[in-house]
């Protein structure tokens, strides 16, 4: 069959990059992109260090060999970065020039919301893009799930379980801050999974007495001797309690109120690393595979998302308009599942 104007352009060469914060499973996505490209006789150029690398022409041709044995590794073999230069029209024009120089018929960008905003700008300058959501924050509106979230939850849970052993032995109160930027998904899932005394997420209006002190008092009343508060980093970022800028401030405030000095642990970057879980490897493989399938079949300027467990292709502009928020019923469930004073005795 001969090609005509309406036939999808034959895909000869694509690029792939990882951008924003690293997330476990990014490597599995890169592997899927490279392997599916090669299976379709399409060359794949790996761009190092996200949009910074694109601007600087930091790339290499990837062979099947390059992605052997990376499926199980955390981080990203392509390195990742945040790029201020790409935020400027001049920077983006340089990136487009490099895409043209390399003869890229498409670019797969693996990252979070910011990465996709960058991809949208590239698409407006004529570069066909497909985004694959990978961020431990799970805060991409168009996708129920983002690569890395499950691994980060499991890592945080393991850390909190360890902390609990020592907290219960010393009968103390512990505050654990988990990542998530301005989203509380990670904190909520971790809180439910460790049976936290209270979970503080930025999606809620918070009241110090009701959301922090009361749960501790109640837990004490029913006989608990140690208390675990899981706090999303966005709570302090957004100063949900006036004058509380860090979890350490929160610890001091609790001490002033009830005389018990909590130990404070910020899990920080510990949550980002580690071997991806089965869920992250499998989801990343499916998303990376689908990204190349879409490009090969002439569909681009979209994000590959999961909706109700199925992989979907969402036009990028529409995808960036979509919002999602934590499921509040999970939050209320967490409270109902605690060892609490029965309602009629409160």
Q: Is residue 82 part of the contact set for ligand ATP (CB under 6 A)? A: yes
Shortest separation between residue 114's beta carbon and ligand ATP, angstroms = 2
What mask, x for binding ligand ATP by CB under 6 A, covers residues 118 to 137?
Answer: x--x-------------x-x
Q: Minimum distance from CB of 81 to ligand ATP (Å)?
A: 7
Rounded distance between C-alpha atoms, residue 145 and residue 186, angstroms: 12
Q: What number of other Cβ atoms are within 10 A of residue 207's Cβ?
A: 12
- Which of 28, 33, 35, 86 is in the footprint of ligand ATP by CB under 6 A? 86
Task: With beta carbons less than 8 A apart as the criterion, state whether 284 and 25 touch.
Answer: yes
Residues 6+ apart with CB under 8 A from 252: none
Q: Binding mask 93-112 vs ligand ATP (x if CB under 6 A, - otherwise)? A: ------------------xx
Q: Interface with ligand ATP by CB under 6 A: which range of 14-22, 198-206, 261-269, 298-306? A: 14-22
Burial of residue 132 (number of CB atoms within 10 Å: 0-12, 13-18, 19+) = buried
Binds ligand ATP by CB under 6 A, chosen from 38, 77, 87, 322: 87
Collect all residues with Cβ–Cβ distance below 8 Å to 241 and sequence separation of at least 6.
206, 208, 235, 250, 253
Nearest of 132, 175, 172, 181 to residue 152 by alpha carbon: 181
Q: Is 137 annotated in the active site?
A: yes
Site string for ligand ATP, 254-293 (x = CB under 6 A): ----------------------------------------
How far is residue 224's CA from residue 117's CA, in Å, rounded to a whole number?
A: 47
- Applying the rule CB under 6 A, the residues between 135 and 174 that interact with ligand ATP are 135, 137
- Say if strands 43-47 and 310-315 run parallel, antiparallel, or are unpaired: unpaired
| Footprint (CB under 6 A) of ligand ATP, residues 48-77 | 51
Angstrom distance (rounded) from CA 84 to CA 279: 32
- By CB under 6 A, residue 180 contacts ligand ATP: no
Whole-number Å distance between alpha carbons of 55 and 217: 55
Question: Which one of residues 11, 18, 19, 174 is an interface residue with ligand ATP (CB under 6 A)?
Answer: 19
The tokens of 242 are what?
């006036």
Bridge partners of 17, per DSSP, are 47, 109
Which residue in 58, 137, 150, 280 is the catalytic one?
137
- Regarding 27 and contact with ligand ATP (CB under 6 A), the answer is no
Distance in Å, CB of 281 to ligand ATP, minimum: 18
Applying CB under 6 A, does 83 fall inside the site for ligand ATP?
yes
Residues identified as active-site = 137
**Contacting positions for ligand ATP (CB under 6 A):** 19-21, 51, 82-83, 86-87, 111-115, 117-118, 121, 135, 137
């Amino acid at each position: 069959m001969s090609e005509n104007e309406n036939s999808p352009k034959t895909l000869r060469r694509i690029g792939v990059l990882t951008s924003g914060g690293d997330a476990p499973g990014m490597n599995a996505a890169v592997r899927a992109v490279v392997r599916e490209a090669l299976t379709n006789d399409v060359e794949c150029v790996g761009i190092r260090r996200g949009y910074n690398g694109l601007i600087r022409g930091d790339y290499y041709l990837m062979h099947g060999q390059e992605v052997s044995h990376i499926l199980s590794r955390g981080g990203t073999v392509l390195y990742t970065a945040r790029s201020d230069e790409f935020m400027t029209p001049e920077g983006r024009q340089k990136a487009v020039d490099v895409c043209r120089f390399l003869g890229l018929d498409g670019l797969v960008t693996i990252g979070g919301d910011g990465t996709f905003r960058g991809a949208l700008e590239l698409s407006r300058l004529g570069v066909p893009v497909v985004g694959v959501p990978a961020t431990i924050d799970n805060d991409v509106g168009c996708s129920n799930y983002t690569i890395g979230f499950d691994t980060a939850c499991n890592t945080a849970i393991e850390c909190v379980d360890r902390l609990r052993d020592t907290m219960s032995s010393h009968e103390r109160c512990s505050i654990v801050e988990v990542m998530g930027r301005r989203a509380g998904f990670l904190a909520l899932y971790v809180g439910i999974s460790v049976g936290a005394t209270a979970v503080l997420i930025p999606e809620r209006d918070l009241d110090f007495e009701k959301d922090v002190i009361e749960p501790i008092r109640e837990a004490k009343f029913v006989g608990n001797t140690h208390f675990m508060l899981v706090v999303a980093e966005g709570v302090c970022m957004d100063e949900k309690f006036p004058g509380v800028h860090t979890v350490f401030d929160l610890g001091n405030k609790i001490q002033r109120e009830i005389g018990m000095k909590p130990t404070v642990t910020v899990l920080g970057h510990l949550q980002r690393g580690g071997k991806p879980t089965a869920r992250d490897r499998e989801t990343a493989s499916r998303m990376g595979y689908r990204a190349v399938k879409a490009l090969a079949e002439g569909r681009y300027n979209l994000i590959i998302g999961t909706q109700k467990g199925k992989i979907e292709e969402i036009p990028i502009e529409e995808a960036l308009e979509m919002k999602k928020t934590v499921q509040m019923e999970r939050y209320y469930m967490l409270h109902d599942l605690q060892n609490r004073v029965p309602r009629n005795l409160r």
